[in-house]
Amino acid sequence: MHIYIAGICGTFMAGIAQLAQSMGVQVSGCDANVYPPMSDVLADAGITAHEGYDPASIPDDVDTILIGNALSRGNPLVEHVLTHRLRYQSGAEWLKESVLRQRKVIAVAGTHGKTSTASMITWILESAGMSPGFLIGGKPGNFDQSARLGEGDYFVIEADEYDTAFFDKRSKFVHYLPHIAVLNNLEFDHADIFDDLSQIQKQFHHLIRIVPASGAIVSNLDSPALETVLSQGCWSPVTYFSTTQSQANWYAASTSCAATEFSVNGENDVTTNITWDCMGEHNMQNALAALATASLTDVSPTRSAKALKSFIPSARRLEWMAETEDVVLFQDFAHHPTAIKTTLETLRQRYPNKQILAIIEPRSNTMQMGWHRESLGDALSTANRVWFYLPQRLNWRPEDLGAGIPLMTESDAGTLVQQILSQCDSHQGRTGSVIIAMSNGSFDAIPQQIATLLMERKD
Residue 413 lies in a domain: yes
424: phi then psi, degrees, rounded to nearest 5:
-65, -40
Tell me how many domains the chain contains: 3
Residues 171 and 259 reside in one and the same domain:
yes
Q: What percent of the chain has pLDDT over 90?
A: 70
Q: What CATH number did the domain enclosing 353 receive?
A: 3.90.190.20
Residues 34 and 122 reside in one and the same domain:
no
Q: Label residue 3 by pLDDT band (50, 70, 90).
A: very high
Residue 173 has pLDDT above 90, yes or no: yes
Query: What is the chain's mean pLDDT, rounded?
Result: 92
Residues 157 and 297 reside in one and the same domain:
yes
The pLDDT of residue 79: 98
Residue 314 lies in a domain: no
CA quadruple 148, 149, 151, 153: dihedral, nearest 10 = 120
Residue 20 lies in a domain: yes
Residues 238 and 344 reside in one and the same domain:
no
- pLDDT (average), residues 205-211: 97
Residues 150 and 274 reside in one and the same domain:
yes
The tens digit of pLDDT for each residue in 129-164 reads 999 999 998 788 899 888 999 999 999 999 999 999
Strands ordered across the beta sheet of 327-332: 319-323, 327-332, 433-438, 355-360, 385-389, 407-410
Residues 113 and 234 reside in one and the same domain:
yes
The runs of H, that is alpha helices, within 224-280 are 224-231
The tens digit of pLDDT for each residue in 365-384 reads 777 777 777 788 888 999 99
95: how many CB neighbours lie within 10 A of its CB? 26
Residues 213 and 334 reside in one and the same domain:
no
pTM here is 0.87
Q: Label residue 459 by pLDDT band (50, 70, 90).
A: low
Structural domain including 68 reads: 2-90
The pLDDT of residue 234: 97
